[in-house]
Amino acid sequence: MEIKLYKTSKIYILTPANVATWGVELLHQLSYKINSILWFDNVFIKYVWEKDWINPTPKDYIKYGVKSINKIEDKEENVLIVPEIFTQYLFEFTKIRKVVWRLSIDNYYFNISFFPKVYNYFLLKLFNKQNYICFNNKLKKIDYHLVQCEYAKQHLLKKWIPQKNIYYLSDYLNKDFLDNIFDIRNKENIVVYNPKKWYKFTKKLIQYMNKQCDNVKFVPIQNMTRQQVIDLLKKSKIYIDFWYFPWKDRIPRESAILGNIIIISKMWAWWYYKDFPIDETYKIKNLNEVNKIRNIILTNLDMYNKNIHKFDSYLSVIMDEELQFNNDLKSLFKVL
């Protein structure tokens, strides 16, 4: 499957304006890579929710040198790339070639009409059930479906999207993390976590452990600059995350690249080895076994200098992600 680019072609990438998240950064990275790797200059960001008095490009992403545009030309030689949250915009055009890039599965279902969105959110948050409804069958007519992870690919296959129309285009970490080097001698008995993800269970685990051991410090990743996150991860030994993942998340990889042992729940994207190629020992199937999780954490804190090397192959995968992204991009697009 190739998307042919002609001399007169233009690529438009839809992205939210003035929002700084890993998904928005990835959309800016895509624009940068199409320009720098494919040597194709006619690539533009079309910002959604733009306000006249605010620069739509987040300051951390100015370095990608993207070009923005206000109007999309609906021509057959052009290409429109939208993340899963903006699929509704595809149907405003009739001639342009259309691409959906599924950076997440859940975010698609949380950006549809009101009642299905509430229903989906209710099942997920209250019962942890991913019984999503209201997949737009019109999307089955779209020729190009890019997926960021294996989990997304399998979900699309269940929705009867033809496999020939699904193409793998993942992501890669920011060099701010890749270029940092941690010193094992500076590591402390710190366990980091994201409080936005199922804090109810994480809080229960922390309280349980605090009653029995006083030599472990739990630190949430919140209200921090990127540099503060990096400094924290260079000191911590373990990153825990027991929430579901509808994509191949960056935080576990950022934690691993800075010398953290990763302990996660085995749900959804975590389930697929291709998305998270780590030892099954560190994927927790039953979260009711709090004492077992406690023992895994304490064992890996004590055996950190030895067990951290179990993640060496995972680090190699992370380090190669940008090269893989470049190669996948070259296979996806053909500049004529």
Burial of 154-169, coded b for 16+ CB within 10 Å and e otherwise, reads bbbeeeebeeebbbbb
- Given a cut of 80, whether residue 99 has pLDDT beyond it is yes
Q: What is the pLDDT of residue 67?
A: 95
Mean pLDDT score, 278-287: 88
Q: What is the pLDDT of residue 269?
A: 47
Mean pLDDT score, 188-200: 86
Mean pLDDT score, 173-184: 92
- Given a cut of 70, whether residue 120 has pLDDT beyond it is no
- Given a cut of 50, whether residue 324 has pLDDT beyond it is yes
Task: List, for residues 57-88, the tens digit of each pLDDT value.
Answer: 998 899 999 999 999 999 999 999 999 889 88
Mean pLDDT score, 132-161: 84
State the chain's mean pLDDT as an integer. 88
Mean pLDDT score, 6-10: 96
Which CATH number applies to 175-319? 3.40.50.2000
Q: What is the pLDDT of residue 104?
A: 82
Instruction: Centre a 10 Å sphere on the Cβ of residue 150 and count the other Cβ atoms it contains.
Output: 18
Confidence of residue 288 (pLDDT cuts 50, 70, 90): confident
Name which residue leads in pLDDT, 98 or 19: 98
- Given a cut of 90, whether residue 136 has pLDDT beyond it is no
Q: What are the two backbone dihedrals, phi and then psi, of residue 151, each rounded to the nearest 5 degrees?
A: -55, -45
- Given a cut of 60, whether residue 180 has pLDDT beyond it is yes
Q: What is the pLDDT of residue 199?
A: 73
Mean pLDDT score, 304-312: 97
Name which residue leads in pLDDT, 12 or 51: 12
Burial of 43-60, coded b for 16+ CB within 10 Å and e otherwise, reads bbbbbbeeeeeeebbbee
Q: What is the pLDDT of residue 133?
A: 58
Q: What is the pLDDT of residue 261?
A: 98
From 10-19, 35-44, 66-75, 276-285, the region with the lowest mean pLDDT: 276-285
Task: List, for residues 237-248, the tens digit of each pLDDT value.
Answer: 999 998 766 678
Q: What is the pLDDT of residue 16?
A: 92
Q: What is the pLDDT of residue 270?
A: 57
Mean pLDDT score, 282-292: 87
Q: What is the pLDDT of residue 332?
A: 96
